[in-house]
């Protein structure tokens, strides 16, 4: 019998090595899954280092479960995840909130420019406020998700 996966610590970002340990999957498999599952997009920083967020760790665990435990093929797991994503969207439209399982987060890519800006670059005051609110909301979501 396989030992259960460790609990996910309340951190904002995880390295590929940490995610590998948390999900029981080797780093090269995680890099491969990034190519196969479009929902899996870790942030990349200097030197193309990957940083995963809590919802991505949950997604990887779901992918692992579909492939290793339920016996899905890559294509089948991809289709199943798309179904799950659609169900989550439908629930959100109906006003329901889902805090466990796969979280679907549609991030406006415009914010990526703010996060990667260098100290010399100017960011408008409104953009800075939006970025702070966004960060606080992500932290609140992570805290709520960690409590389940």
34 and 67 Cβ atoms separated by less than 8 Å: no
What is the number of domains present in the chain? 1
23 and 5 Cβ atoms separated by less than 8 Å: yes
pLDDT at 112 exceeding the cut of 70: no
56 part of a folded domain: yes
Give the residues across from 44 on adjacent strands: 50
109 part of a folded domain: yes
CA distance 129 to 113: 15
Task: Encode pLDDT of 16-57 as tens digits.
Answer: 999 999 999 999 999 999 999 988 999 999 888 999 999 999
Task: Encode pLDDT of 120-144 as tens digits.
Answer: 455 677 778 888 888 888 888 877 7
Per the structure, the complete domain to which residue 33 belongs is given by: 14-146
6 part of a folded domain: no
């Amino acid at each position: 019998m396989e030992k259960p996966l460790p609990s996910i610590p309340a951190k904002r970002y995880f390295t590929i090595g940490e995610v590998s340990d948390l999900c029981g999957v080797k780093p090269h498999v995680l890099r491969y899954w990034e190519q196969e599952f479009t929902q899996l997009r870790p942030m990349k920083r200097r030197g193309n280092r990957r940083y995963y967020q809590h919802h991505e760790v949950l997604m990887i665990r779901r992918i692992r479960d579909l492939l290793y435990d339920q016996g899905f093929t890559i294509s089948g797991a991809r289709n199943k995840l798309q179904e799950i994503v659609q169900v989550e969207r439908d629930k959100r439209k109906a006003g329901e909130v889902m805090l466990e399982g796969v979280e679907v987060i549609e991030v406006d890519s415009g914010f990526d420019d703010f996060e990667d800006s260098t100290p010399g670059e100017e960011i408008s005051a409104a953009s800075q406020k939006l970025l702070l609110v966004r960060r606080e909301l992500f932290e609140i979501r992570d805290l709520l998700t960690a409590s389940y």
